[in-house]
Chains A and B, each alone.
Chain A
Amino acid sequence: MVRKRYIPMILMLATLMSSCEKVVDFDPGEVEPYVVMVSKPVSDSLVAVYLGYSRFFLDNRNFNIIDNASITITSGNNTAVGTYDPKCFIQSEYYDDWNGYYGPTTYYGGYKFTVSPHPGDTMRLSATVPGYSETVTATTVVPQQPQVEIVDYVVDTMNEDPYSTSFYYRLRFRVNCNSNKDFFSVKLYCGEIRQTLDDTVWMWVWDTTQMRESYFSVSDPIVNNASLEGALDGDDGSYGGREMYFSSERFSGGAHEFTMEFEYYYGMQAQINGMELPVVLEVRSLSEEMYRYDITSTGYTSELDGLFSEPVQVYCNIKGGIGIFGASTNRRVKAPTPRVENFNNSSSNYYKKKK
C-alpha cells in the first residue's frame, strides 16, 4: 500500500527524465522554392542544362523538373536555344563496392543545345521560367586546356600469391599553369580487371576492358591547402581520394610537380600475364566557378562524417536562382606502364623506368 503511493511520483519523474528529444516548432521564413540551374559544359562537347525547383529541406517528395522554360546560351559568338529532353542527364548504373550490387540507372530531364564551347569562350546562360518572375542567368569562361606531362614513375610489386597481385605505383607529373588563378582536378583511371556479372550466362566473368577511377594519394601541402576535400581528408598535408583539386594560387602560377601514389590490384595472376597495365591520368582545367562548386559540394559529403565540422556552403553562381554554371577542359594522359610478364614466380618483381 505504501509502495503504491510512490508509483505516480516515480512515473512522473521517469517521464520528466526520459523525454529529451522534441520536435522544434520554428518559423523558417520564406521557403518558396528557388529555380535550380545546373550546367557543367566541357569544351568541344555539346552543352546540356538542368532546370528544376529546389525543395524545403523537410520535404521528401521528388524534385520538380522544369520542362517548359525558355533557355538560351551564348558561347563566344554563337547563340542557341535549348530543347527539352526528358533523358538529358543519365546517371548510369554503378557498382556499389560496399554492398556488392549495381545501382539503378536514373534519368533527369534537361535542355540540350547544339553549341560546343571552345577554350577561352565566355558563356552566358539565360532562362525564363513561366510563373517565376526573375530571369535566371549565369556566366562562365571555358578554361584553356591543361598542360600536363609525366615526369617519371616507379612500380613495385607488393604482394604475390596465386590469387592476387598488387602493385605499388608512384607517378610523378608536372602541371604548367598560365596564371596564378588556374584551377584543376586530377583523376586516375586504371584498367579494371574485376569480376562482373554476365547476364547472358549468369556467371562471374573477368572484364578487362573497363577503366575505373582509382584511389590515390598525394603528399603535397598545395593540395591540402587548396582542396577542401584534402583539408578534410588529410591532417598531414596529404590528399587521399579519387579526385584531387588544386589551384595555382598556392604556387603563384608556373609549373608544379606532384607525386601520386596508388596501389594497383590486378586479381588473379593467370588473367594478367602478358597484359599491359593501363593507367590514365585525367587532368581537368576548371573555371573558377566549377572549381569552387566542386570542392564545396564534395566537402559537403565529407562534412556529414564529422559532427563537429563546420557546415559547408556549396558555391553558387546563378543569379535569380541557385545551382552552378561552370566549365571545364579535359585532358587525358596515358601513363607509361610495364607489360606484365610471368608472375607465377613468387620472387619479387621490380620495375623502374624514367621517361
Chain B
Amino acid sequence: MIKLKKKLLIVLLLLTGCRIAEAQNFTIRGTIRALSSGETLISATVYDMLSGKGALTNAEGRYSLTLPKGKVILRISYVGYKTFFDTIDLSKNEELNVWLESSTVLQTVTIKADRISSHRSSQMSAIDIPVENIKSVPVLFGETDVLKALQLLPGVQSGTEGMSGIYVRGGGPDQNLFLLDGVPLYNVNHLGGFFSAFNADAIKNVTLYKGSFPAHFGGRLSSVLDITTNDGNDKKLHGNATIGVIAAKVNLEGPLYKDKTTFNVSYRRTYFDLLMQPAIMAIGAMEDAGRLNAGYYFYDLNAKVTHRFSDRSRLIGSWYSGDDKIYARMKYTYNYEYNGSTSEEIMKLGYNWGNLVGSLRWNYELTPKMFMNVTGAYTRYRNDISIRLEENEYYYNTTEYYNAEMTYKSGIRDITAKVDFDYQPNPDHKVKFGGNYIHHIFQPDVTGTRYEENYSGTDVIFDTTLGESRVHANEISTFIEDDWTINEAFKINGGVNLTGFAVQGKFYPSIQPRLSGRWMLSEDLSFKAGYSYMTQYMHQLSNSSISLPTDLWVPVTKRIVPMYAHQVAAGAFYNWSGIADLSAEVYYKKMKNMLEYKDGASFLGSSTGWEDKVYMGDGWSYGLELLAQRTIGDITGWIGYTWSKTMRLFDREGQMINNGEPFPAKYDRRHDLSIMVSYKPNKEFDCSATWVLSSGNVGTLSMHEYIDPTTGQTIHYIENRNNFRMPMYHRMDVGVNFHKEKKHGTRTISLSVYNVYNRKNPFMVYEKNNTHSVINGVHYNSALVQLSLFPIMPSLSYSYKF
C-alpha cells in the first residue's frame, strides 16, 4: 500500500513537473508580410537562434512558435527579402507581426526554384517557385505561363511542343491536382493547351508536390500544384498593365478600407479575334450578300477580396472565371423584287468552355497554438456548343420562319465544404488535421435539339434532349499529420488521409498513409526519404496529347474502380553555401487500375458508353532527378536533369493491350535536361535564356505490312504499342527586359524569342507518299515526315507598373 502511494506521488510530481515545465513555455505568434505590398508571405522562416527551434508561416502568412521562457533571438527570413532579427525577453505570450523589406541584393535574383525550407525540411519532392521567377522565364508569344515554367524542372515533363500540360513522374495529365486558393480547377488550359489558365499577375505563390505528399492533400496520383493568389496591397492602389503580341492584361490591387480590406483584380484577354477581323471581313465579302462575323478569344478574370477583422481573424473571398470562346455569325439577306418579299438566313455558332471557381474562406486563430480554416467553394467546368439556323421570310405583313438549334453540354460541378486546423502544441510538433466534403455533379454529355417552324400560320415545335443524365457523387476525406522534429538530426512527417467516394450505390473507401523523413548528416547535407499512397476517383477522357475542350471528367463507376499509387522516393540535399544548392532524388511509383483506351477507340466527340472503350491495367515509373541551382549573384539559374522510365502493363483477362506485354507509356521520356540562366547586372536591364533537351515522344508505327489474300486488305502490322521514338527535342528561348523608371511607375519593354535557332521539333509524324527517303541506304518513294509547329517566334510586350 505504501509502495502504491509512493508511485502515485511520483506520478503526480512528474505530472506537476510537466505542467510547471509547460507553464514556462510561451508562444510567439504573428503574421509575416511584405513591407511594400502588405502581402502575407507563405513559408517564411521564423527561427530562434538560441534554441535552434523554428517555424514556417502557413498559407495565411501566420506562424506560431512556442519557446521556453527567457531570451530569444529571432531570425525571420524569406527569399527576396531582407532578413529580420529581433531579440525578445520571453516572459509571456507575444504577438509579433513583421513586415519584411525587399532585399536589393536578392532583387537581382530573377530566377530561383527553391525547395521548400531547403534541405532542412522533412518535405521532399516539392518545389516552391516565387512568381517573380516564373515571370522571367522566356515563353511562347511572351505570355508568362506557370505550367511551362514548371516543365523546366526535374521530374516534370511537357507533353507536345508548345503545350502547357504537365506529366509528373510518369503520371498522366489527369493525375495532377490543380488547386487555386485551395479549390480544384479542372481545366487548366486555353487554346488546346498552348496557354495555361493561370495569369501570373494574379499569383502570389506556386508550390508543386511531385511525391511524398503531405496527408492534407489527396485526390490525384501524381502531383499537387498549389497556387495562391495575391491578397492585394493594403497600403495604396497599385496596378500593372501589359500589352503583348496576342494578349493584354491588367492588374489592380489596393485597400478598400485601410488596413482592413484589400482587393486584387486581374484580367487577361487575347485579341486573336480583333486581329483577324480584316481577314474575316474579307471572307465575308467574298460571299454574295453575306455578312460574316467570327472569332476566337479567351479571357481570365481573377478577383480576391480580403477583410481582416483582427490579427486573428480574416475573411477571404476569391473568384476565378476563365473561358475560351469561339463564335461565328453569318447572315444572308435576299430581296425578291417580283413580289416584294425579303428572305433572311442566319447561322450562329457558339462554342464556350472554361472554369468558374468561387470560394469563401475564414481564417481564425482559435488559440495561440491553433489556427483554423473554414472554406466553402463552388467549382464548375463546362463545355457548351450551340448551333442555330434561322430563316425568316417577310412578305407584306406576314412573317414565316423556321429555327433549328442544336446544343451540346458537358461538364462537372463541385460543391465543397472543408475545415482544417494547424496545431502546434510545442516547437517540435506541427499538427494538421481536418476534413472535407465534396459533392460532385458530373454531366458527361447532353445533346439538345429544338426546331420551330411557322408557315402559313401553322406552328411546329420539336424539342428533345438526349444523352447521359447527371451523375452525382459524394466524396469525403479526413486527414491528420504531424511534422515532428525528433532531434537536431531527425525529423519526420507522418500522417494518414482517409477518403471515401460514393457513386451509383457503390462506396469506395481508402486509407492512405504518408510518411517522409529527414536526416541531417551535417549542417549542409541532409538525406530524405518518403512514401505516399494516393487514390484517385475520377478520370479525364482524352486520348491525344492536345488538351481538347471535349476531354471530359468522369467518375469511377461500378465497373471502373479507383486508381491508386504507391510511391517511394529518397534523395540527398546539399546546400553549397554561397555557390549552389544541389539535390539528387530517386523515385519508384507503382500505379494500379489505370485506364488506357482499347486499340482503335476514340473519345472524340462523345463519352457515352465510355466504360466499354477502356481497359484497366497497371503502370510503373522510376527515375533519377538531379538539380543544381544558383540563387545568389548577378547570374542565377539552374540545371535540371531527369532520367526516367515509365511503363504500362495491361494483361488482365479480356483487357489486354499490346498482347499483354509491357509497353512504354505515351509520355515515357528517358532523358530530360533543362538549363535556365538569368543575368541581371542592374535595375535597367535583365535577360534570361532557357535550353531544353529531351528524348523524343513515343508513338506507334507499323513497320511491316502484308496482304490478306482473303480480303485483299493490306494489313499494317504493329509489333508493339509505342514502338517508335520521335527525333530528339531541343530548343532555346531567350528573353530581354528593359526597365525604366517613369514619373508614376516603371515601364518595361520585353523582347523574347522562342526557338532561337529555329529547331524543327516534331509535333507529329506520318507517312507521306511520293516523297523520296533513304533508310539504311535503301531508297524509297515514301517517307516518314514530321510536322513542326513553331519555328523561331519573336514577341514583344510593353508593360507599365505603378
Binding site for B on A (CB under 8 A): 16-17, 19-28, 31, 33-34, 36, 38, 40, 50, 52-60, 63, 88-89, 91, 106, 108, 110, 221, 224-225, 228, 231-232, 234-237, 249, 296-297, 299-303, 306, 308-314, 316, 322-324
Q: Could you tell me if B609 and A237 are in contact, using CB atoms closer than 8 angstroms? A: yes
Give chain B interface residues in 708-726, CB to chain A under 8 Å: 708-713, 715-721, 724, 726
Q: Are A221 and B783 touching (Cβ within 8 A)?
A: no
CA distance A316 to B605 in the complex (A): 31
**Chain A: minimal CB distance from B512 (Å):** 31
Which residue of chain A has its CB nearest to the CB of B770?
A: A60
Q: What are 26 A-B pairs with beta-carbon distances under 8 A?
A: A17-B791, A19-B791, A21-B785, A22-B785, A23-B773, A28-B776, A31-B776, A34-B706, A36-B707, A54-B704, A54-B717, A56-B778, A57-B701, A57-B703, A60-B781, A88-B709, A232-B601, A237-B609, A237-B612, A299-B600, A306-B600, A306-B604, A309-B543, A311-B721, A313-B721, A314-B716
Q: Does B374 contact A (CB under 8 A)?
A: no
A67 to chain B, nearest CB (A): 13
* Least distance between B751 CB and chain A CB atoms (Å): 16
Interface residues of B in 535-574 (CB under 8 A from A): 543-544
A-B CB contacts (within 8 Å), total count: 201
Nearest residue (CB) in B for A107 is B709
Contact A297 B704, CB 8 Å, known A24-B762, A316-B717: no
B714 to chain A, nearest CB (A): 8
The answer to whether B706 touches A16 (Cβ under 8 A) is no
Q: Known interface pairs A19-B760, A38-B710, A313-B718. Does A28 touch B703 (Cβ–Cβ under 8 Å)?
A: yes
Task: List 12 additional contacts besides A24-B765, A38-B710; criterion CB under 8 Å.
Answer: A23-B786, A31-B775, A54-B705, A60-B769, A63-B707, A228-B598, A228-B600, A235-B605, A236-B608, A309-B543, A313-B719, A313-B721
Partner of B706, one of A63, A110, A312, A313: A63
Q: Cβ of A309: which chain B residues have Cβ within 8 Å of it?
A: 543, 600-602, 604
Contact of A296 among B599, B605, B769, B783 (CB under 8 A): B599
Smallest CB-CB separation from A313: which chain B residue? Answer: B718
Measured in the bound complex, the distance between the Cα atoms of B787 and A21 in whole Å is 5
Q: Is the CB of B706 within 8 A of A55?
A: yes
**B543 vs chain A, min Cβ distance (A):** 6
Q: Which of A26, A28, A40, A225 contacts B612 (CB 8 A)?
A: A225
A26-B712 in contact (CB<8A): no
Q: How far is the CA of A232 from the CA of B598 in the complex (A)?
A: 10
Complex-state Cα separation, A17 to B776, whole angstroms: 30
- Do B712 and A31 touch (CB < 8 A)? no
CA distance A63 to B362 in the complex (A): 73
* CB of B16 within 8 Å of the partner chain: no
Give A320 to B771 CA distance when docked, in angstroms. Answer: 33
Specify which chain A residues have a CB less than 8 angstroms from the CB of B658 in the assembled complex. Answer: 313
Q: Are A20 and B788 in contact (CB under 8 A)?
A: yes
Beta-carbon contacts under 8 Å, B127-147 to A: none
In angstroms, how far is the closest chain B Cβ from the Cβ of A49?
Answer: 10
Does residue B606 face the partner (Cβ distance < 8 Å to A)? yes
The answer to whether the Cβ of B789 comes within 8 Å of any Cβ in the partner chain is yes
Residue of A nearest to B722 (CB): A311
Contacts of A36 in B (CB 8 A): 706-707
Chain B neighbourhood of A313, CB < 8 A: 599, 658-659, 718-721
Could you tell me the distance in whole angstroms from the C-beta of B770 to the nearest C-beta in chain A?
9
Contacts A20-B789, A57-B701 given: A91-B706 contact, CB under 8 Å?
A: no
Q: Which residue on A lies nearest to B605, using beta carbons? A: A235
Q: How far is the CB of A51 from chain B (nearest CB, A)?
A: 10
Task: State whether A322 and B602 are in contact (beta carbons under 8 Å apart), knowing that A17-B791, A23-B784, A23-B785 are contacts in the complex.
Answer: no
What is the CB-to-nearest-CB distance from B123 to chain A, in angstroms, rounded to a whole number?
38
Would you give the 0/1 interface string for B720-737, flagging 1 where the beta carbon is closer than 8 Å to chain A? Answer: 110010110000000000
A221 to B597, CA, bound (A): 18
CB contact list, B16-75 vs A, under 8 A:
none
A297 touches B717 (CB 8 A): no
Contact, CB under 8 Å: A314 / B600: no
B600 partner, pick from A31, A224, A236, A302, beta carbons under 8 A: A302
When C-beta atoms are compared, the residue in chain B nearest to A224 turns out to be: B612
Contacts of A316 in B (CB 8 A): 717
- Cross-chain contact A22 with B788 (CB below 8 angstroms): yes
- Looking at B596, B784, B789, which has the most chain A CB atoms within 10 Å of its CB? B784
**Docked-complex contact B608 and A308, CB < 8 angstroms:** no
**A89-B710, A231-B612 known; A33+B599 contact, CB < 8 A:** no
Contact: A231 with B706, CB < 8 Å?
Answer: no
Q: A106-B712, A232-B602 are in contact. Are A20 and B704 (CB under 8 A)?
A: no
On whether the beta carbons of B600 and A231 are closer than 8 Å, the reply is: yes
User: Is B337 part of the contact surface with A, judged by Cβ < 8 Å?
Assistant: no
A59 to B719, CA, bound (A): 18
B411 → chain A closest CB, angstroms: 18
Are A297 and B715 in touch, CB under 8 angstroms?
Answer: yes
Query: What distance in Å separates the Cβ of A131 from its nearest Cβ neighbour in chain B?
Result: 18
CB B61 to nearest CB in A, in angstroms, measures 45
A52 touches B708 (CB 8 A): no
Q: B784 to A24, Cβ gap below 8 A?
A: yes
Q: How far is it, in angstroms, between the C-alpha of A324 and the C-alpha of B707 when the chains are bound?
A: 11
Residues of A within 8 A of B612 (CB): 221, 224-225, 231, 237
A21, A26, A58, A314: residue with the most chain B Cβ atoms closer than 10 Å: A58
